[in-house]
Amino acid sequence: MAYLTRAQLESLPTPRLLAYKNSLLKVPETADWDNLCAVPGGGKQHPEWKAQYALVKEILADREHIPKRKCG
């Protein structure tokens, strides 16, 4: 997973930004040797991940709320 810049995040539509936030949440808590290469920064404990997640939440806080779609 590559981290995005503020400009890239702000240019995403809200549904896509929410999907990116969800992909950030799937990052393991800590990196182990098996997934170290797959996780930039080494997991949720790394300052880079924390900064990216905080930035996404900050941008989402300024967006208009979108109700969930109802299936069916």
Domain extents for the chain? Answer: 6-61
Query: pTM value?
Result: 0.76
| Amino acid, single-letter form, for residue 38 | A
Q: Specify the pLDDT at position 35.
A: 53
Residue 68 CA, distance from chain mean position = 19
Q: Which of 49, 70, 57, 68 is nearest to 17 (CA)?
A: 57
Q: What confidence tier does 72 reach under pLDDT thresholds 50, 70, 90?
A: low
pLDDT: is 65 or 23 the higher one?
23
Q: Specify the pLDDT at position 54.
A: 97
Q: Tell me the per-residue pLDDT of 2-54, one tens digit each, with 9 for 90 and over.
A: 899 999 999 999 999 999 999 999 988 876 655 555 555 578 888 999 999 99
